[in-house]
């Protein structure tokens, strides 16, 4: 019985919502990405003066097209909502509007769920409350302090805002969070736990404490303060660390027959999901790339695909000296001679690294690539690193002339603690 359900329930993407330093709204952000725009800028303020990294990706707020605002969002209690949750709610509204799915019937709400996570809690909330506690100002600590910092609150607020009564699930696996969220949601639908799930990640950690912590690890870019737009440069010889960014990205995943019955527009199909652990080091991946390789292998097995059917990989590549090399090595080891045929890119040159939302915004970009047949350029990749002979997308966007039908891609995410995820995304063909 379980086997027949697993085999018959296919999962598709019917909506996408994005809030990022490139803008707000999937189509706006996609156009910005294809135009070669970078959303990365300098960080200013006294609290950041001692931090050596001066480059970040900040969400633009305002009322102009592509800017973040709260207009049109469901009514919420602002006392329990952080900026991160606001980003998440805007991405949810964008995704659900695109999917044309805002159910009013109880049976539809009961079959709709959320799977949303974040990589880090809002650290400044803890800093401020801790300072009050040290000053013995117990009554000045907000009764909303705990709800504001819980990992599952973004998922909870989306569920509350739209009345979704299906699975309510939160993931927190560092920079793999967004992709794990989508992968878990894919399996929930495939296994019959829901018909529709809003899935992805959100993050708002461009704060003095978070940046100081990453800077002390020497993880952040420090060499491009005068030219922030070129500071995130995946696979490039001059890369020197990642650029912290913020935002949210959510996908509406839907069981195929459910989407067909309501004539929903389908952007892509999710074919499979793979996970692995490095079991090597808290922050550094093994140099042979075996963890990443096992993860991609697992996604291929789950998708029932051969390696040569993959023609594009949107990489995790954060612009760190070790991480980009390891991921490239893993691709070359797994795909062997076919690796030179794969269009390999990273979109972090344009967006920076969204931490817990990185995997979901890159999944959204991968959906758009299989849907449109265009693979975005890896921004700022001028001189590819040595040691791996891969077909990096550099110089300009590439028209994806597939040898297969449908177009099929992988997208990868890796996080501290050695946690890895790969998702296989296909063009939807009737």
Identify the active-site residue in 88, 175, 315, 388: 175
Does 295 participate in catalysis according to the annotation?
Answer: no
Instruction: List, in sequence order, every residue forming a beta bridge with 391; answer none if it has no partner.
Output: 343
What's the token pair of residue 92? 């949810």
Name residues whose C-beta falls within 8 Å of residue 325's C-beta, 6 or more positions apart in sequence: 287, 385, 387, 388
SS (H, E, C) the chain: CHHHHHHHCCEEEEEEEEEECCEECHHHHHHHHHCCCCCEEECCCHHHCCCCCCEEECCCECCCCCCECCCCCCCCCHHHCCHHHHHHHHHHHHHHHHHCCCCCCHHHHHCEEEEEEECCCCHHHHHHHHHHHHCCCHHHCCCCHHHHHCCCHHHHHHHHHHCCCCCEECCCCHHHHHHHHHHHHHHHHHCCCCCEEEEEEEECCCCHHHHHHHHHCCCECCCCCCCHHHCCCCCECCCCCECEECEEEEEEEEEHHHHHHCCCCCCEEEEEEEEEECCCCCCCCCCCCHHHHHHHHHHHHHHCCCHHHCCEEECCCCCCHHHHHHHHHHHHHHHHHHHHHCEEECCHHHHCECHHHHHHHHHHHHHHHHHHCEECCCCCCCCECCCCCCEECCCCCEECCCCCCCCEEEEEEEECCCEEEEEEEECCCC
Is residue 387 a contact partner of residue 292, using CB atoms and an 8 Å limit? no
User: Residues in the chain, how many?
Assistant: 430
Catalytic annotation, residues: 175
């Amino acid at each position: 019985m379980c086997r027949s359900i697993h085999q018959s329930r296919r999962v598709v993407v019917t909506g996408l919502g994005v809030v990022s330093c490139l803008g707000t709204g999937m189509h706006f952000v996609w156009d910005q990405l294809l135009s070669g725009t970078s959303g990365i800028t300098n960080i200013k303020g006294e609290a950041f003066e001692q931090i050596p990294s001066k480059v970040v990706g900040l969400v633009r707020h305002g009322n102009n097209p592509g800017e973040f605002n709260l207009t049109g969002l469901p009514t919420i209690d602002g006392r329990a909502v952080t900026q991160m949750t606001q980003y998440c709610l805007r991405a949810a509204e964008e995704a659900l509007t695109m999917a044309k799915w805002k159910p009013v019937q109880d049976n539809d709400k009961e079959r709709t769920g959320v799977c949303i996570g974040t990589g880090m809690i809002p650290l400044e909330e803890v800093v401020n409350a801790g300072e009050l506690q040290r000053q013995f100002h117990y009554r000045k600590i907000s009764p909303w302090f705990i709800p504001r910092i819980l990992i599952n609150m973004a998922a909870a607020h989306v569920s509350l805002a739209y009345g979704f009564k299906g699975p309510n699930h939160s993931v927190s696996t560092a920079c793999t969070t967004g992709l794990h969220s989508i992968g878990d949601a894919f399996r929930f639908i495939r296994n019959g736990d829901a018909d529709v799930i809003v899935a992805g990640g959100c993050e708002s950690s461009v704060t003095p404490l978070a940046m100081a912590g990453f800077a002390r690890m020497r993880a952040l870019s420090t060499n491009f303060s005068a030219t922030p737009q070129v500071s995130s440069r995946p696979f490039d010889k001059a890369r020197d660390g990642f650029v912290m960014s913020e935002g949210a990205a959510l996908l509406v995943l839907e069981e195929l027959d459910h989407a067909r019955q309501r004539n929903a527009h389908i952007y892509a199909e999710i074919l499979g999901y793979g996970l692995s652990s490095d079991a090597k080091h808290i922050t550094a991946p093994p140099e042979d790339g075996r963890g990443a390789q096992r993860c991609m292998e697992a996604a291929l097995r789950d998708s029932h695909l051969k390696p040569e059917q993959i023609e594009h990989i949107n990489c995790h590549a954060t612009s760190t000296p070790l991480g980009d090399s390891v991921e490239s090595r893993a691709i070359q080891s797994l795909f062997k001679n076919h690796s030179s045929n794969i269009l390999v890119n990273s979109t972090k040159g344009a967006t920076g690294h969204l931490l817990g939302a990185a995997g979901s915004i890159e999944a959204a970009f991968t959906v758009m690539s299989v849907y449109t047949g265009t693979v975005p350029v890896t921004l700022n990749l001028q001189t590819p690193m040595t040691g791996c002979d891969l077909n990096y997308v550099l110089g300009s966007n590439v028209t994806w002339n597939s040898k297969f039908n449908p177009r099929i891609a992988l997208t990868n995410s890796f996080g501290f603690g050695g946690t890895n995820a790969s998702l296989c995304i296909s063009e939807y063909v009737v």
